[in-house]
Homo-oligomer: A and B are copies of this chain.
């Protein structure tokens, strides 16, 4: 069996991931991935029907290895809504730099490919759930700023911690990740906590 030797499929996924991170999700061709994996370009298609499919598989693979779900699961220890909100920003905000290349590639393809859009949304689902928990906790504590519905507040929360927001503040404006996390926590607390 393939318990010791890494099977080709995994080699491709690793190569894809590595290149995506190295090039920040841009300009990574099927032939590059094949070369990186040490196989022929055509062989990639023996394992993945298309570029899109490979990208989605890479995303699932990274999800599995890095385990955002697991990281987020820990958060349910958080007692108060505020605490949960802050913890959420911290976990996600420190996760983004680890998966930025991949995420960027996904976001770019999402515009033109429905499957990718769906895959991305379902991958964001677990994050959204935690965000919503935080908002609901605030609400139950009577601490959610007046006027917000749960949905609206969760929408705004998600938008605020979106990859594009992170990209603009760190990559473009030159913020450190710590700055990003701290000010985002500040903005969210001020916005949602009464």
Contact = CB atoms under 8 A, between A and B. Distances in A.
Interface in A146-165: 147, 152, 155-156, 158-160, 162, 164-165
Given A147-B186, A186-B147, A175 B155 contact: yes
Contacts of A162: 164-165, 168
A50 interface: no
A31 interface: no
Nearest to A147: B186
Interface in A112-164: 112, 145, 147, 152, 155-156, 158-160, 162, 164
Interface of A: 26-27, 104, 108, 111-112, 145, 147, 152, 155-156, 158-160, 162, 164-165, 168-169, 173, 175, 179, 183, 186-187, 190-191
18 contacts: A26-B111, A27-B112, A104-B111, A108-B108, A145-B190, A152-B179, A152-B183, A155-B169, A156-B169, A158-B173, A159-B169, A159-B173, A162-B164, A164-B168, A165-B165, A186-B191, A190-B190, A191-B191
